Amino acid sequence: MRLIREVGARAVFDSNGIPAIEVEIVADGGIRVAESAPRGSTTGEFEAYVLEDATALPTLAAVAPALTSVLDLVRPALIGRDVCDQRAVDTALREVDGGAYFRRIGGNVAVATSMAVAQAGALASGRALYRHLAESGSGPGPVRLPVPMFNIADGAVGSNTVYTEFLLLPTATEPAVALDQGVRVRAALAARLTGKGHRCSDSTQGGWSVDLGGCEATMELIVAAAEDCGLVGGQDFHLGLDLSGAEFATPAGYAFPWLEEPLSAADLTRRYLDWVDRYPLTFLEDAFEPADEAAWHGLRARLVNRAAVVGDDLFASDAERIDRGVRAGLADGALIKPNQVGTVTQALDALDAGARHGITTVVSQRSGETASAFITHLAVAGGATWLKAGGPARMDRIAKFNELLRIAEEFTPADGSHG
Ligand code: 2PG
Ligand code: MG
């Protein structure tokens, strides 16, 4: 047993230069580790609360309430606890909060603390983080290498596809092969974009920031870029879209800027089905807002065995929401983001819920990321189908993919499911 001896905190920045809380755990045996909280840009109504002084943004002073929370609430609850007992630590965080969505102690505080404790627990137990996390899950962890998917393009701010993510899903399961595919298609897409006279700039998530008018033109260009690399749609790769439906739901229908006029959920469903017919599109994330359950159900029913209908804001990485939603036939895929639900244990529980239902599970980045590769270990520990860590560029994204390459060395090719 190694005990937590000190819990400290500081204000740092995330990958977008937005202030974030970093929590440092000191434990027996000279262990000292820190993790900071990532941050979403499209944040659903069911996700953990970010405790901060928004009036002080973008300065570090915005983190003041989170610092106070660590010192006054979290520190007394954790000092003296076994750093290896992740579930007990995370339960203590929930108890000290005492409510839903970590409104008291802050979801940002909870997740940074929980991840730092997990890192410390891995050091204390002398195991790789993913092994330690697998042991901390609710069942024996189905340790497995996820396949990396890539934000190959993200809709530019102010464009018709703002918040839309265009994802490349390699069929190659070996991380190095899939990553090579990602970087090659990324380069080919840049050549296509500049060849068409478009300016080509980095998106905040490691893809290209694009302004091509709409989803169809963008998907067509990505398919063409992949073909430039000798890759065949439907065979070597598929496409995915994150539509961030909740951002565009209005009383008049879905007012996506790429539409000429708002569409009803029924009309939008027809549009999605048409895309699945015309493009190698097999992954539709947040196609609707969470409340539109009939629309989710209808799309899922029509796309069974053709494309995954994936909930991000719909589930908010919560095991119970996943359980209920999958039983109701709303989706057959779930994003898992630790900061959406608040603790590592809850994220592992969400992965377990997904595995029990046999759905597609995607451990995901946030748009505001940290330098840590924690989510890579979480994906391996929870047997995730995919690792969604952005485009293959920028160290905040690459760190996650590089860690997958390192972990892959511990898995033999003949045995993809157990290291
Ligand atoms: C998403 C993520 C990550 P955000 O919606 O899936 O790509 O973005 O940071 O807005 O949650
Ligand atoms: Mg999403």
pLDDT tens per residue, the chain (419 residues)?
899 999 999 999 999 999 999 999 999 999 999 999 999 998 888 999 999 999 999 999 999 999 999 999 999 999 999 999 999 999 999 999 999 999 999 999 999 999 999 999 999 999 999 999 999 877 656 799 999 999 999 999 999 999 999 999 999 999 999 999 999 999 999 999 999 998 889 999 999 999 999 999 999 999 999 999 999 999 999 999 999 999 999 999 999 999 999 999 999 999 999 999 999 999 999 999 999 999 999 999 999 999 999 999 999 999 999 999 999 999 999 999 999 999 999 999 999 999 999 999 999 999 999 999 999 999 999 999 999 999 999 999 999 999 999 999 998 754 444 33
Q: Which residue, judged by its Cα, is nearest atom 4 of ligand 1?
A: 40
Kindly give the number of the ligand 1 atom that is closest to the alpha carbon of 366.
9
Q: Which residues contact 280 (CB under 8 A, 6 or more apart)?
A: 223, 233, 234, 237, 238, 239
Whether 383 is in the pocket of ligand 1, judged by its Cβ within 6 Å, is no
Sign of CA dihedral 73, 76, 48, 324: negative
> What is the predicted pLDDT for the residue at 199?
84
Kindly give the number of the ligand 1 atom that is closest to the alpha carbon of 335.
6
> What is the predicted pLDDT for the residue at 42?
82
Kindly give the number of the ligand 1 atom that is closest to the alpha carbon of 340.
11
CA distance 186 to 50: 33
Whether 365 is in the pocket of ligand 1, judged by its Cβ within 6 Å, is yes
DSSP, collapsed to helix, strand or coil, labels residue 22 as: strand
The rounded Å distance from CA 386 to ligand 1 centre is 15
Which ligand lies nearest to the CA atom of residue 367 in the structure? 1
Whether 114 is in the pocket of ligand 1, judged by its Cβ within 6 Å, is no
Kindly give the number of the ligand 1 atom that is closest to the alpha carbon of 365.
3
Which ligand lies nearest to the CA atom of residue 44 in the structure? 1
Query: Distances from the Cα of 391 to the Cαs of 13, 151, 384, in angstroms?
Result: 20, 5, 18
In this structure, which amino acid lies at residue 279? Y
Kindly give the number of the ligand 1 atom that is closest to the alpha carbon of 337.
11
Kindly give the number of the ligand 1 atom that is closest to the alpha carbon of 165.
7
Q: Can you name the CATH fold of 147-415?
A: TIM Barrel (3.20.20)
The rounded Å distance from CA 365 to ligand 1 centre is 7
Kindly give the number of the ligand 1 atom that is closest to the alpha carbon of 163.
10
The rounded Å distance from CA 201 to ligand 1 centre is 19
Query: Distances from the Cα of 379 to the Cαs of 130, 137, 390, in angstroms?
Result: 8, 12, 14
Whether 16 is in the pocket of ligand 1, judged by its Cβ within 6 Å, is no
Q: Which residue, judged by its Cα, is nearest atom 11 of ligand 1?
A: 40
> What is the predicted pLDDT for the residue at 168?
98
Nearest residue to 185 via CA among 147, 155, 221: 221
Which ligand lies nearest to the CA atom of residue 205 in the structure? 1
**Is there a contact between 416 and 177 (Cβ–Cβ < 8 Å)?**
no
> What is the predicted pLDDT for the residue at 139?
63
CA distance 1 to 124: 8
Whether 86 is in the pocket of ligand 1, judged by its Cβ within 6 Å, is no
Q: Which residue, judged by its Cα, is nearest atom 3 of ligand 1?
A: 366
Whether 41 is in the pocket of ligand 1, judged by its Cβ within 6 Å, is yes
**Is there a contact between 157 and 183 (Cβ–Cβ < 8 Å)?**
no
The rounded Å distance from CA 53 to ligand 2 centre is 25
Whether 400 is in the pocket of ligand 1, judged by its Cβ within 6 Å, is no
Q: Which residue, judged by its Cα, is nearest atom 1 of ligand 1?
A: 366
User: Which residue out of 157, 165, 241 has the highest number of ligand 1 atoms within 8 Å of its CB and is therefore the one to mutate?
Assistant: 165
How many CB atoms lie under 10 A from the CB of residue 233? 17
> What is the predicted pLDDT for the residue at 386?
98
The rounded Å distance from CA 376 to ligand 2 centre is 17
Q: Which residues contact 405 (CB under 8 A, 6 or more apart)?
A: 175, 176, 179
Whether 40 is in the pocket of ligand 1, judged by its Cβ within 6 Å, is yes
**Is there a contact between 254 and 263 (Cβ–Cβ < 8 Å)?**
yes
Which ligand lies nearest to the CA atom of residue 285 in the structure? 2
> What is the predicted pLDDT for the residue at 371?
97
CA distance 133 to 114: 11
Domain ranges (residues) in the chain: 4-126, 147-415
Identify the residue whose tokens are 């993200």.
Answer: 154
The rounded Å distance from CA 73 to ligand 1 centre is 29
179 alpha-carbon distance from chain centroid: 18
User: Which residue out of 42, 150, 169, 370 has the highest number of ligand 1 atoms within 8 Å of its CB and is therefore the one to mutate?
Assistant: 42
| CATH superfamily name and code, 4-126 | Enolase-like, N-terminal domain (3.30.390.10)
Whether 165 is in the pocket of ligand 1, judged by its Cβ within 6 Å, is yes
